[in-house]
Amino acid sequence: MRLVFATLGPGGSNHDWVAGRYRVAHRLDAAIALHDEFEAAFRALLEGRAQFVLQCAVHPSVAYTVGHYRGRAHLVDTFLSPSQPMAVLKRRGATRLRSLGLQPATRDYVDVTRFAELVSEPTTVAVGEGLLAGRYDAGLTLLRFLEGHRDLLELEQMIGTVVDPWLVWGTEPVCGREPLVWREGPAARLFTGAAGEARGSGGRRTCRRS
């Protein structure tokens, strides 16, 4: 049976994009099933139509997920991934930007106080589609929406990629009573280096001049 990873759609969303990269990193021949909301993705997991759910750890639904599916869905992996390039795009020719469309998890990427109205959307893809439909003056969305729509949109503010933590859920627990850590990972090397510096400075923090 082919593995299925359930995650948040639509196609081309950051969840879809990262799920594809995660599959390649693990060299898995796995399918990616896209859902409109995470409750549908977890329903597929619990009903056996998917073996894993991939979820960005900064998504607003994570706190609900942890509590609601406790004892039924279990965290089996975490990882870091850069996002697709992002930007604030605006309708071409717009000079007075009153409204901004955004996905709530991206709110602090920009100064939103200069907008009188914030319009929440479920995904950054929905923001791009809403901007093209004229539902707001500007949108915090994927930079790729600018390509092919330069007659309608223009760049307001470049954000670039954002490194996010990601969660992978399954039905079989992998963590027992002790923390499950990657002792040979990049963080472990940073800890070793920092400990060595602390020993060399007698345990005191020092300020280095450039």
Structure tokens given for 124: 């950054």
Q: Work out the number of other CB atoms within 10 angstroms of the CB of residue 83.
A: 18
Stretch 71-94: mean pLDDT: 96
Confidence of residue 197 (pLDDT cuts 50, 70, 90): confident
Structure tokens given for 29: 């021949």
Structure tokens given for 174: 């992998």
For position 201, what pLDDT does the model report? Answer: 67
Q: Work out the number of other CB atoms within 10 angstroms of the CB of residue 175.
A: 10
CATH 3.40.190.10 residue ranges in the chain? 3-82+163-174, 86-160
CA distance 135 to 149: 16
For the stretch 121-140, pLDDT in tens is 989 999 999 999 999 999 99
CA distance 31 to 46: 17
CA distance 205 to 210: 16
Q: Is the pLDDT of residue 185 over 50?
A: yes
Select from 3.60.20.40, 3.40.190.10, 1.20.1250.20, 3.40.50.2300 the CATH code of 3-82+163-174. 3.40.190.10
**Counting Cβ atoms within 10 Å, is residue 40 exposed (0-12), middle (13-18) or buried (19+)?**
middle
For position 42, what pLDDT does the model report? Answer: 98
CA distance 104 to 107: 5
> What's phi and psi for 108, nearest 5 deg?
-85, 5
What's the alpha-carbon Rg for the chain, to the nearest Å?
A: 21
Mean pLDDT of the chain: 92
Higher pLDDT, 73 or 203: 73
For the stretch 14-51, pLDDT in tens is 999 999 999 999 999 999 999 999 999 999 999 999 99
SS3 21: helix
Which CATH code for domain 86-160?
3.40.190.10
Q: Is the pLDDT of residue 79 over 70?
A: yes
- pTM of the model as a whole: 0.84
